[in-house]
Amino acid sequence: MINIVLFGKPGAGKGTQAEFLKTKYNLTHLSTGDIFRFNIKNETDLGKLAKSYMDKGDLVPDEVTTKMLIEAVENNFDKDGFLFDGYPRTLSQSEALDAFLSKKETRLTATIALEADDKILIQRLLERGKTSGRPDDQDEEKIKNRYDEYNEKTAPLIEYYKKQGNFHAVNGMGSIEEITQRLTKVIDNL
Ligand code: AMP
């Protein structure tokens, strides 16, 4: 199996790149943000709970998120691996994912960070907010809070994965095609 974590700040292009990579490498793409939004749209209990955090730009609590992610993995063991997009976002989530994959006798092959300048990312998010309908993309305060959450809770994961020896940083600035090429170069060399 190839199991990849696509990592990066909000707006870094994780979702856009995942769409291409999942097809090229026959991976199940799991975006926790997308699964939460699906639940919000369908007005499930999970959706109502998630919405109260997401609308403010806060992270949804670990237990809820990890339970949901693990269920999604369990139900999708039919491809050549997983592309995790937006999970893990905290140290506790990273540990939970490692423990779960190890129980399944597999592991993360690579963690790839898409790196880009904050100013450009915030502009990208505000642009996306005009058409995405996402309340968390439309308000600069909420966006700022998502960055604070990232810096405080998610950025420490870089050290965690560097220690594991599976961390790769990719320049996330440029055209979509250029970034895809950089990502495939990393994955093809794994
Ligand atoms: P995204 O679509 O990845 O930008 O996620 C949108 C929002 O969903 C985030 O701002 C969080 O509120 C929530 N979310 C998505 N993934 C996670 C996660 N792994 N842990 C906690 N909250 C998450």
- Domain with residue 124: its CATH number is 3.40.50.300
CB 47 near ligand 1, within 6 Å: no
8: left (phi over 0), alpha (psi -120 to 50) or beta: left
143 in a structural domain: yes
What would the pLDDT profile of 82-115 be if each residue is shown by its tens digit? 999 999 999 999 999 999 999 999 999 999 999 9
Has residue 190 been placed in a domain? Answer: no
Domain count within the chain: 1
CB 92 within 8 A of CB 67: no
Among residues 90, 117, 110, 124, the alpha carbon closest in space to that of 169 is found at 110
- Give the pLDDT score at 48: 98
Which tens digit of pLDDT belongs to each residue from 105-154?
999 999 999 999 998 999 899 999 999 888 899 888 999 999 999 999 99
- Ligand 1 close to Cβ of residue 89 (< 6 A): yes
- Quick check: is 188 in a domain? no
Q: Whose CA is nearest to atom 1 of ligand 1?
A: 33
Please indicate, yes or no, if residue 129 is contained in any of the structural domains.
yes
| Cα end-to-end span (Å), the chain | 12
Residue 5 pLDDT exceeds 90:
yes
The number of angstroms, rounded, from the C-alpha of 63 to the middle of its chain's C-alpha atoms is 17
Q: Using a 6 Å cutoff on CB, does residue 30 contact ligand 1? A: no
Asked whether 10 lines ligand 1 (CB < 6 A), one says yes
